Amino acid sequence: MAFDRLIEKIAEMQNPTVAGLDPKLDYVPSSIKEACFAKYGKTLDGAAAALFEFNKALIDSLCDIVPAIKPQAAYYEMYGWQGVKALCETIAYAK
């Protein structure tokens, strides 16, 4: 997000908070993990899908109150290229 857009969103929402997304599978609700593991197996694909689904739910819940999100890349990298893909999908979804 360009800084000018961020500043505009902060002013519009009257909130300077940025939500950090530091995903770990332990944080993801069981229902999301189970659905993703049922679809992709207990693999990095399943883990990354669960992270992305959880991120979407967080973004949808926060989009009216925080002007931006800040995903922490290292947390996604723990899940291999599939996690990095989930990071890219999260960024695209947040936009």
Q: Which long-range contacts (CB under 8 A, 24 or more apart) does 57-60 make?
A: 57/32, 58/19, 58/21, 59/90, 59/93, 59/94
Digit-coded pLDDT (tens) for 9-18? 999 999 999 9
With contact defined as beta carbons under 8 Å apart, do 24 and 74 qualify?
no
pTM of the complete model: 0.89
3-state secondary structure of 19: strand
Which domains does the chain show, CATH number per domain? 3-94 (3.20.20.70)
Digit-coded pLDDT (tens) for 27-61? 999 999 999 999 999 999 999 999 999 999 999 99
